[in-house]
Amino acid sequence: MPDRLYLSYWLRGFTEHNMLRHFENALRHFPFSRMRPQALLAVRAVDLAEAPLLEREYAGEIDPRAIIEACRWHSKPDHAFELATFWDLWTLADEEWKLRPAPIGIWCYGPLFPSEYGEQLRFEFGLETLFLPGPELSRPLAPFRHNIRSLLHLVHDMDDALPVDKRLLWSESGGNFAERLQEALSRMEARQAGG
């Protein structure tokens, strides 16, 4: 069964006073879907089990300033902000690969909000099968290459835009996703060289 894929960031000097600035900076550098420009902001207090304090939908071109302005009313150290939105990836549906909007969650955790690993920002990409071809490699490789480039481009942009202390690309099973990705890339290159 495929795992879910995440990217977590720990930021230098992260406090309740600058958390929304970092969240806005991440959103400004995120490649929102052009095919499905919409998002849902949820603000949570204390714990994920609590009902959201705020839910607000955005449609059309996503404006990070408007999202952050809504967050300011709830900017407390024990609050978390989740933006459920889309970015464009190659996905398989009805036996056909197409560039489509793929869901993604972008989280900013206040310093006192309990996140799984203590990170301040998290990207939830969905199933890792969008980025890792199976060992049989029977599917076309171009969509995986595109998706991997999109993922690496996002990581590069976030690394440049944020005061990164540490980052981790991880999956639910706890396996090293970077190693698995490298293995998949090696298989892809071997297949291309052989065929």
**pLDDT at res. 85:** 97
pLDDT for 130? 87
CB atoms under 10 Å from CB of 115, counted, come to: 16
Residue 128 carries which DSSP code?
G
Question: pLDDT class for 5, splitting at 50, 70, 90?
Answer: very high
Tally the domains of the chain: 1
pLDDT by residue (tens digit) across 50-98?
888 999 999 999 999 999 999 998 899 999 999 999 999 999 888 888 9
Six token digits for residue 130: 């969008």
Domain hosting 67: range is 4-194
Give the integer Cα–Cα distance in Å for 27 and 35.
Answer: 17
Global pTM? 0.89
Look at residue 179 in the predicted model and tell me its pLDDT: 78
Write out pLDDT tens, residues 170-192: 888 776 777 777 777 777 677 76
Count Cα atoms within 13 angstroms, Cβ side, for 86.
Answer: 20
Distance CA(75)–CA(118), nearest Å, equals: 18
SS3 186: helix
CA dihedral 119, 14, 75, 9 (to 10 degrees): -30
Instruction: Name beta bridge partners: 169.
Output: 7
3-state secondary structure of 161: helix
